Amino acid sequence: GENVEQHPSTLSVQEGDSAVIKCTYSDSASNYFPWYKQELGKRPQLIIDIRSNVGEKKDQRIAVTLNKTAKHFSLHITETQPEDSAVYFCAAPSDTGRRALTFGSGTRLQVQP
């Protein structure tokens, strides 16, 4: 099955700075990589995802990059705001062809005003 590693576990930035969270995966056949944001006491919500046929995807202040050769993908948040403070999880399919997800360990992002 898939193994997903995520770092850093905590990240503190000043408002307006950029934040980068990195994940690696083990299964070279994995082809879908979502990122979820979970605010305290709330459900995880998808913020962006990328498929293996592209190397980068952007949505306003959020971008994800994928390096299939190195088997890693990263979340980039620019111009961070206090409301970006949350726990972020990367994920990958648990097994080839399955839609269940294996999650990374999570990154607690704190944006200081």
Partner 1 sequence: SAVISQKPSRDICQRGTSLTIQCQVDSQVTMMFWYRQQPGQSLTLIATANQGSEATYESGFVIDKFPISRPNLTFSTLTVSNMSPEDSSIYLCSAIPSGGLNTEAFFGQGTRLTVV
Q: Looking at 19, 77, 101, 109, which residue binds partner 1 (CB under 8 A)?
A: 101
Give the one residue of 43, 53, 83, 113 binding partner 1; rule: CB under 8 A.
Answer: 43
Residue 106 engages partner 1 in binding (rule: CB under 8 A): yes
Q: Please state the closest distance from residue 54 (CB atom) to partner 1, in A.
A: 13
The answer to whether 60 contacts partner 1 (rule: CB under 8 A) is no
Q: Are 38 and 87 in contact (CB under 8 A)?
A: yes
Contact call for residue 58 and partner 1 (CB under 8 A): no
Say how far apart CA 104 and CA 3 lie, in whole Å: 8
Cα 1 to Cα 102: distance, rounded to the nearest angstrom: 9
Q: Is 85 a binder of partner 1 (CB under 8 A)?
A: no
- Decide if residue 54 touches partner 1 (CB under 8 A): no
> Is 36:46 a contact under the CB 8 Å cutoff?
yes
DSSP string, 2-19: --EEEE-SEEEEETTS-E
Candidate residues 42, 55, 59, 112; the one interacting with partner 1 per rule CB under 8 A: 42
- Alpha-carbon 30 to chain mean position: 15
Q: Which residues bind partner 1 (CB under 8 A)?
A: 31-32, 34, 42-46, 49, 51, 89, 93-94, 98-106
